[in-house]
Amino acid sequence: MKASLWVANGQVVTTVGHSTSPQVGPALGEVLRYTDGHVLVDGDKILLVTDNYAQAKAMCDAQTEVVDATDRLVLPGYVDCHTHLSFAGWRDHELPLRLAGRSYLDILAAGGGIISTVQKTRAATPSALLATVLATLDTMLLHGTTTVEAKSGYGLNLETELKQLCVLREAGTRHPVEVVRTFMGAHALPPEYKNAREEYIAIILDQMLPQVAAEGLAEFCDCFCENKAFTIDECRSILLRAKALGLGAKVHADEITPLGGALLAAEVKAVSAEHLIHADREHLRAMAEAQVVAILLPATSFILQTAKRADVKSMLELGVAIAIATDYNPGTSPLPNMQLLQSFACFHYGLTPAQAFAASTINAAHAIGRAKDSGSLEVGKQADVIIQKAPTLDFVPYHLGVNLVESVIKRGKRVVNKGGCMYG
Amino acid sequence: MKASLWVANGQVVTTVGHSTSPQVGPALGEVLRYTDGHVLVDGDKILLVTDNYAQAKAMCDAQTEVVDATDRLVLPGYVDCHTHLSFAGWRDHELPLRLAGRSYLDILAAGGGIISTVQKTRAATPSALLATVLATLDTMLLHGTTTVEAKSGYGLNLETELKQLCVLREAGTRHPVEVVRTFMGAHALPPEYKNAREEYIAIILDQMLPQVAAEGLAEFCDCFCENKAFTIDECRSILLRAKALGLGAKVHADEITPLGGALLAAEVKAVSAEHLIHADREHLRAMAEAQVVAILLPATSFILQTAKRADVKSMLELGVAIAIATDYNPGTSPLPNMQLLQSFACFHYGLTPAQAFAASTINAAHAIGRAKDSGSLEVGKQADVIIQKAPTLDFVPYHLGVNLVESVIKRGKRVVNKGGCMYG
């Protein structure tokens, strides 16, 4: 069999052997490194990963596209497994208010916060939303993200939740970045149901979820399990209904208070639980047993300057699989860049560069049900490959503030080919 | 008089009226904003800044180069007033060690840290150093920096200190970014003088400084006033000798311990004191009286995860002028990007976006004696202008992780013209 594309002579770094179960405990960050390696692609799939030049060359002919990766790092594309990328209404004007000490709840009361994004997202046309999503996907792709999870949840009514999901579906068909969709009607209680929360829950259960499932608009259902958002019981009913309809479950858990979302995630056998800053150690143990992936969002902690950090040490000890994601959204994480996210994971959360890498690739793929296809450079998987101008894996989180990605290959096609960092 | 270049229809934001004294106290961050503004350039100088389209147009003819800045932010170029950009030897491999809890002193004892950079810098050829510096200046320029201060201090012997400064001088003649040179022989005690520190001080005083001054290799002299580095008395003797030779004084002060570098800076009437994390409030008062600019380095604090932060509140109350800089170096701040630096200044140090902007422009120019020429968009100053794809000044530190700079004009010449952020 001949290769259609040959990424040649690069420093190849990837996890191996974790397509069916994520890296946990001391295994997190175990990688294969070929100093002078080759990735061969056939169509949209990886044909071979080797450090044997002769073997690589023998699989190529005059038709093979050759991408020289000399002095470059060759990695699997980043998987950003938790974002809210379909929205209208940036909230940059709230930054000076927050820095001046105004609380999130003050800003919310003054018409800001998530509710302002909801209003603007409701008012936005699908084509305007689509343009924003496509532009964001461009930025993400240029920074090395080849697969992204994206949630609804700025609609909070049937029409707008569906609009968001349809826009995300359309974006995924038009853009090289693969978009995995999550329904999140339970992101916040809409203001018009302030005194009728049971009614809103009923709408989620009886209208939104069935229609989302029937139209195949989402693979997952997420909910914000938190004081001021939704209770454990409300989230349980939503997630169980979602599962009955064939969707996977996700939980925004224990971000601000130790409400017990992590335990709920274990109970309903969610695919993932996210944030987890206040998660109880015993609840983390339950997550490990139920094989729920922890998605950590260290950029959000940085931006909110949250003193408490997720309990990475316990997660490693107990065998909870750790993934990291940007949490890209207009309020608490306007950061689309998985390289800088790894810097936050290292400097702010204490992961090593190799752990942050695994958490951004194979474990992130597990967190959105894509580990069979994505997250590592292994034979038979999708050829999602990025080439970075960096001498070592450590260099990526270390050299923060510069886009090191030069080339991106998605499903075997070279979709970014430009200079990244200018360093010699 | 006709304009050679017209930056048209942008949102112009600049400080005004602070070319002779920096912004201090409540004035920090006071800016002029023209929603629909114009910057007209004649040769290398700013001819006019206005929101009067007719007036702008009247100064242009067919020869005028027009740069459309519609929906863009038009700012003075960033001034990075504290860097160590001339070095060999990245230290990315130390990151996992530090994250695993190894102390800086442990790493130093194992041959790492600054001493490893010194060894590699001594061994590097001038042309290799120059290539690295030019590549770094490229990266800085692409991110909006038009003037940079750069220190020696990885030589710690006469030959290499001069080599570093000569390389920086050469880089400044070849590259659009203006390079302001600082001699910093007192950066660390070289290992070969471990038991003979007086001898090394004498070499600085009697050999290095006179030669640096005689050859015009530096405008400033800096020294690391700190336990394990140089004492107050040693720094005083070095800075006074430097001043007698016509150099301006700078002090790395009170970074790790409250040794009193801030007070020394006031005493010797230094242009600036940097770091200042542990500076005593009374010493800050002395700095304000002596008009010493405080250069804060919040990225370094982030990277070292320093719990204590510089006392910005006291600086504002006491009228200390605040500038911010990247501290770009291979150990504690491998960050060349003044946009992300502003994010750290806001989220990590509590400055508002407008304060971080002023601290990155006019106040930074004061910190390196360039405020008459740089740091703001005012008639008669150098035409150092950047165009960013951002709707507001707040957006710059808020939207972290993306290079928003699209165009850079240095001394009236357009030296960067490319897409930055892909957002619509």
pLDDT tens string B201-213: 999 999 999 999 9
Residues contacting A363, CB < 8 A, separation 6+: A18, A22, A23, A28, A293, A321, A322, A323, A375
pTM given for the model: 0.96
Instruction: Please give the average per-residue pLDDT across B6-26, as a whole number.
Output: 98
Whether A90 sits inside 8 A of B391 (CB atoms) is yes
Ramachandran category for residue B338: left, alpha or beta (phi over 0 → left; psi -120 to 50 → alpha): alpha
Q: In degrees, to the nearest 5, what angle opens at C-alpha B256 toward C-alphas B254 and B259? A: 40
Please say whether the beta carbons of B326 and B354 come within 8 A. Answer: no
% chain A with pLDDT above 70: 99
Pick the closest to residue B149 from B84, B242, B92, B88 (CA basis).
B84
% chain B with pLDDT above 90: 89
- Two structure tokens written together for B279: 């500076």
* Tens of pLDDT, residues A65-97: 999 999 999 999 999 999 999 999 899 888 888
Split at pLDDT 50, 70, 90, the class of A422 is: very low
**What is chain A's alpha carbon radius of gyration, rounded to the nearest angstrom?**
21
- The yes-or-no verdict on residue B419 having pLDDT over 70 is no
Q: Which residues of A touch B339 (CB under 8 A)?
A: 401
Phi, psi angles (nearest 5°) of residue B408: -130, 130
- The yes-or-no verdict on residue B20 having pLDDT over 50 is yes
Split at pLDDT 50, 70, 90, the class of A421 is: very low
Contact status of B397 with chain A (Cβ, < 8 Å): yes
- Two structure tokens written together for A151: 């949630």
Q: Which residues of B touch A143 (CB under 8 A)?
A: 401-402
CA distance B247 to chain A (A): 32
Whether B421 sits inside 8 A of A90 (CB atoms) is no
Instruction: Tell me which H or E stretch contains A408.
Output: strand A405-410
- The yes-or-no verdict on residue A419 having pLDDT over 60 is no
CA distance B277 to chain A (A): 18
pLDDT at residue A114, rounded to an integer: 87
- The yes-or-no verdict on residue A267 having pLDDT over 80 is yes
Distance CA B412, CA B409 (A): 6
CA distance A367 to chain B (A): 23
Instruction: Please give the average per-residue pLDDT across B390-419, as a whole number.
Output: 92
pLDDT at residue A423, rounded to an integer: 30
pLDDT at residue A418, rounded to an integer: 72
Instruction: Please give the average per-residue pLDDT across A348-367, as a whole number.
Output: 97
* Tens of pLDDT, residues A211-236: 999 999 999 999 999 988 999 999 99
Pick the closest to residue B28 from B369, B412, B360 (CA basis).
B360
Whether B90 sits inside 8 A of A337 (CB atoms) is no
- The yes-or-no verdict on residue B1 having pLDDT over 90 is no
pLDDT at residue A41, rounded to an integer: 98
Could you give the 3-state DSSP secondary structure of residue B71?
A: coil
CA distance A42 to chain B (A): 31
* Tens of pLDDT, residues B365-374: 999 999 999 9
Split at pLDDT 50, 70, 90, the class of A106 is: confident
Q: Which of B93, B337, B347 sits opposite A402 (nearest CB)?
A: B337
- Two structure tokens written together for B407: 């165009």
Whether A402 sits inside 8 A of B139 (CB atoms) is yes
Please say whether the beta carbons of A167 and A129 come within 8 A. Answer: yes
Nearest CA in chain B to A138: B422
- The yes-or-no verdict on residue B423 having pLDDT over 50 is no
A270 vs A187, A221, A251, A371, CA distance in Å?
17, 10, 7, 16
